[in-house]
Structures are given as structure tokens and as C-alpha cells.
Amino acid sequence: MAQSDEEDDYMNMVFDDAPKQPKYETALQRAARKRKEGEQRSRQKTKAEREADAEAAREASLATALPETNKGFKMMAKYGFKQGDALGKSEDARKEPIKVTIKEDRGGIGLESEKKRKFRQTYEEAARAAKKMKEEEGDFLEERRQQEKERKAERDLDNAQRTAERMFDKDAEEKGTATAENTPLTEINVFWRIRIRRRVERQRDRQQQRELNNSLSSRLPTYVDEDEEHDKDTRLALGHDIAPFYTSLENDLEEQDPELAEFEALSVAERLEKILVFLRDKYKYCLYCGYQYPDKAMEGCPGVTEQDHD
């Protein structure tokens, strides 16, 4: 049985989300409304709310064009001004007046510019100080790197001198000749002569200290009959030996060594380079490879200096 067209289509019915308000409010509703309005009127707005309301009113006023009934607009209209025209004779002139900037603090006029100037000056001084500190830090780091490089070169120089002396002694033992310890100081190769000289000086200092201690202990006062005769050993044992027990302190240091002084006057890098070249030419040895090659070609060694081995 077909449905009639006059029947309601319940699938397409629209229901209101909210119930309609009654046409007339009741006494309770009127009392509640008045009480709510009274509370709103009696409530004091906060400072932030008042400032927000003032800002909103000001922006709304500035965004509204002058009405034709405005006295200022009427004065401008007498000179040919129309709504939407540029403010001036030129067509490129501004069409809107300069916006108003509200001064909200209590500082005098120009104080804000002075604050900006001082802030800019402080910022520039801080930038200069940071730049200077960065430069000084760079200089300090460069100085530290240079010092570390010099210390590394000194360690390499000591290793090269020790290696050269060791190879010389090994070669001397194989040939049956005198080693560095048994060779006169001036005849030792100048490249490692300073090592032998320092060892001799340390040995001499120890000997002098030992002789000095023995001399002082041998001169302790004793009670002995002056008329009694004693031999030399007895007088020495009793502390009556008037002759010095030691003589090494009276000797001068070794004679000056101009050749060694000239070599030591060179920089660490120059001395190191000379010894490295000597080790390669004489013993076919590379300090940084740590290997003694079988021939002078030294195939496989990248170079003389440490930078060549990087």
C-alpha cells in the first residue's frame, strides 16, 4: 500500500537545538536578570581590563574614517578633499593619517630615545668585549699550540740524540773502536756531545759532594798530644791533616767548547733536522718510522720530518 504524499517525512524532520524562550519572562527570571546586571555594574574592573577596553576603543576610533559631519572633514572638503583621496598634492602621498603612539609611561619626552641610545651603546661595548675576548682566546690557544709544538720538538731532539749515540756505540763495538764514554769530550760528535757533557758534569758534581762530605768528617776536632808524633795516615784519621783531602773542587770546569756552543745556539727545529738528516745518511735510520732501512734509498719512508709522516 503506497504512502500518501501528505504524510510527514520523519527522516527529513528538523528539530531545534534549544527550546524557544517564552514570549514573556516570569518574575523569577526578571529578578535573576536584574540581580546579574546589578552584579556586573557593581563589579570593579581590573587595571588590565580597563587598559584593554581603552586600547580597543582607541583602535576602533582610529580605524573609523572621519564622517562628513566632522568639523575637520568639512574644513578639508572646502579645499577639495574627498573621502579616500591622498593627503597632499602628490598622488603618491599617504591616504591615511600617521598613527598615534600612546605614551603610557611617566617618563619625559626623549627619555625613550636616551634609553635606546644607552642600550645600543651597551650592546656595542659588549660586542667589542666579546670580540676582544675571542681574539685573546685565539692568541692564547695559538700560544699553547706553539708551546706544545716546541715541547714535542724538544722530545724528538732528545730521542734523536739518544738514538744517534746508541747507534754510534753499537757501531763502535762491532768495529772494536772506542765508544762515546771512552772518547775525549771534544772528539765526540757535536750532535750528541751535550748528552755526554751533562753526564760528566753530573758525575763530577756527585764526586765533589762526596769528597766534600769526607773532608768535613775528617776534620772533626780531637784531643791529641801535640808533642806526640804520628804518621800521615794516623794524623788524617785523627783530623789533624792540614792538607786538603780533595782537589777536584779546585779544578776549573772543562774548557770551553765553541763548536758545541755554536750548535746549541741553533733553534730546536734546526738541530733536530740536522740530526735526522745525519741518521738517514749515516745509519739509514728514520726516527719517525722507527726502522733502519737496508739501503740508502730507504724506500717506503715518506720523508725526513714528522709532517711528512702524517
State the pLDDT confidence band at 253, using cuts at 50, 70 and 90.
very low
Average pLDDT, the chain: 78
Q: Look at residue 272 and tell me whether its pLDDT is greater than 80.
A: yes
Nearest-angstrom CA–CA distance, 178 and 171: 10
* pTM of the full structure: 0.46
pLDDT in tens, 65-80: 778 888 888 888 888 8
pLDDT of residue 299: 86
Cα torsion for 294, 295, 298, 300, to the nearest 10°? Answer: -50
Q: Is the pLDDT of residue 126 over 80?
A: yes
84 versus 241: the higher-pLDDT residue is 84
206-230: per-residue pLDDT in tens? 888 887 777 666 555 555 555 455 5
Residue 101 pLDDT grade (very low, low, confident, very high; cuts 50, 70, 90):
confident
CB atoms < 10 A from the CB of 270, how many? Answer: 11
| Cβ–Cβ under 8 Å, residues 256 and 268 | no
The answer on pLDDT for 15 being more than 70 is no
Single-letter residue type at 250: E
| Domain spans of the chain, in order of start | 127-183+276-310, 198-265
- Residues 20-53 have pLDDT tens digits of 666 678 888 888 988 888 888 888 888 888 888 8
Phi, psi of 123 (to 5 degrees): -65, -40
Give the whole-number percent of the chain exceeding pLDDT 70.
79
* CA dist., res. 107 & res. 105, Å (int): 6
* Of 246, 239, 245, residue with least CA distance to 219: 239
Render pLDDT for 113-125 as a digit per residue (tens, 0 to 9). Answer: 888 888 888 888 8
